[in-house]
Amino acid sequence: MMKTIILKFSGPLQSWGIGSNFETRDTARCPTKSAVVGLIGSAFGYRRDETEKFHRLNELSFGVRIEQRGSLLKDYHIARSVNQAYVTNRYYLQDAVFLAMLSHEEPSRIDAVAKALAYPVFPLYMGRRSVPVGSDFFQGVVEIDLLSTIKSHNWQASMWYQKKYLRGSKSDKITLDAYVDARLLDDSSAPMFQRDRVESFDLMNRKQGFRPVKSLQVEIQIAEKGKDTEHDAFQGIGGV
């Protein structure tokens, strides 16, 4: 039986660097596979120079679904040394929500990853140490394949965002963008190549390789709880 881990990344800020240098720390618009592999390595207690262990984590199938896009925030930052001040620009996603999903043909490997994520050795972050994962980060394991999960799992946007969407829409469904390892999607579309495959996290030789990715759109039924249910203080005490 195929198993899939579901992770939720949400909070005021998160950042997923893809090509940063000292002066500019950018962010991708959704979690990258290399960042999630690094997070899982932290959960296991791997050190940066344990390259072979991270390479094995690359074998996990990966997908991400955008629940709530959020907006881009630029943080003007000054770092000081003894004789000099450096101006840096750091970018974050604010008020964004994503679901990341991981699977593997061997259920035992997913069980081991799930246990590590539930009881991590090192603290887990959403790209930077200033943005730890939320309390609902680990959503659990489902016994279906990743592609089916990404097409069917309940919409996880913030409640205020769901209500705002429903007020402006006549439909009780929403179409969400998703990105998966190209081999998971059996169609004729050409893959994109994203530079987020872990080659090395070693600080002296940090490298990323290219990973083929395919995009898809999924239509999700909006759960009843997302509807605008304004509280009536007089409900339950009779007519007024």
pLDDT tens track for 138-169: 999 999 999 999 999 999 999 999 999 999 88
Domain spanning 3-226, CATH architecture: 2-Layer Sandwich (3.30)
pLDDT digits (tens, 9 = 90+) for 93-129: 999 999 999 999 999 999 999 999 999 999 999 998 8
pLDDT digits (tens, 9 = 90+) for 17-36: 876 666 777 899 999 999 99
Between 109-113, 174-178, 232-236, the lowest mean confidence (pLDDT) is in 232-236
Give the H/E segment covering residue 30.
none
Q: In angstroms, rounded to a whole number, what is the distance separating the alpha carbons of residues 130 and 37?
A: 19
pLDDT above 70 (res 200): yes
SS3 223: coil
Q: CA 14: distance to chain centroid?
A: 9
- Answer yes or no: are the C-beta atoms of 102 and 7 closer than 8 Å: yes
Residue 212 is classified by DSSP as E
Q: pLDDT at position 232, please?
A: 45
Residue 8 to residues 31, 126, 157, 192, Cα–Cα distance (Å): 10, 10, 10, 24
Q: Which of 181, 180, 189 is nearest to 218 (CA)?
A: 180
Q: In angstroms, rounded to a whole number, what is the distance separating the alpha carbons of residues 109 and 42?
A: 16
